[in-house]
């Protein structure tokens, strides 16, 4: 039996239904064909990270790192072009 993978959209849908508290975790689990423990785990994870939605400033440290990496790759690309040009000039 293989593990099922759930999309973030599906997880969000389940968590929002759980937060409404119109149904128990057991009822939601039956409706969405997952375990009640999974419903509760996703709900805890969602609530633990909810504050990050309202943080101002950079979206995340990862995006800063990605921007820096992109910049460095551009610099490397320019230097490679210059090096190739100079090598061809010496021939």
Q: Report the Cα 34 to chain-centroid distance in Å.
A: 22
Instruction: Give start and end residues of each alpha helix (H) in 1-91.
Output: 8-20, 25-32, 36-49, 61-90
42 lies in which domain range? 1-55
Q: Kindly state whether residues 2 and 44 are assigned to the same domain.
A: yes
Residues 18-67: tens digit of each pLDDT: 999 999 999 999 999 999 999 999 999 999 998 888 877 655 566 778 88
The pLDDT value given to residue 1: 67
Q: Are residues 51 and 41 in the same domain?
A: yes
CATH of the domain at 39: 1.10.10
Rounded to a whole number of angstroms, the distance between the first and last alpha carbons of the chain is 63
- Residue 91 predicted with pLDDT over 90: no
Q: How far apart are CA 74 and CA 18, in angstroms?
A: 46
pLDDT (0 to 100) of residue 58 = 58
Residues 78 and 40 in one domain: no
In terms of domains, do 13 and 42 share one?
yes
Q: At what angle do helices 36-49 and 8-20 cross, to 10 degrees?
A: 90
Do residues 61 and 76 both lie within one domain?
A: yes
Please indicate, yes or no, whether residues 25 and 44 belong to a single structural domain of this protein.
yes
Domain count, the chain: 2
Q: In this structure, are 41 and 24 located in the same domain?
A: yes
């Amino acid at each position: 039996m293989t593990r099922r993978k759930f999309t973030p959209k599906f997880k969000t849908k389940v968590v929002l239904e759980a937060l409404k508290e119109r149904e128990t975790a057991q009822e939601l689990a039956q409706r969405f064909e997952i375990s009640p423990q999974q419903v509760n785990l996703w709900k805890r994870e969602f609530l633990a990270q909810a504050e990050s939605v309202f943080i101002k400033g950079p979206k995340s440290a990862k995006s800063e790192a990605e921007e820096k990496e992109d910049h460095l790759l551009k610099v490397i690309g320019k230097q490679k072009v210059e090096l190739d040009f100079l090598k061809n000039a010496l021939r």
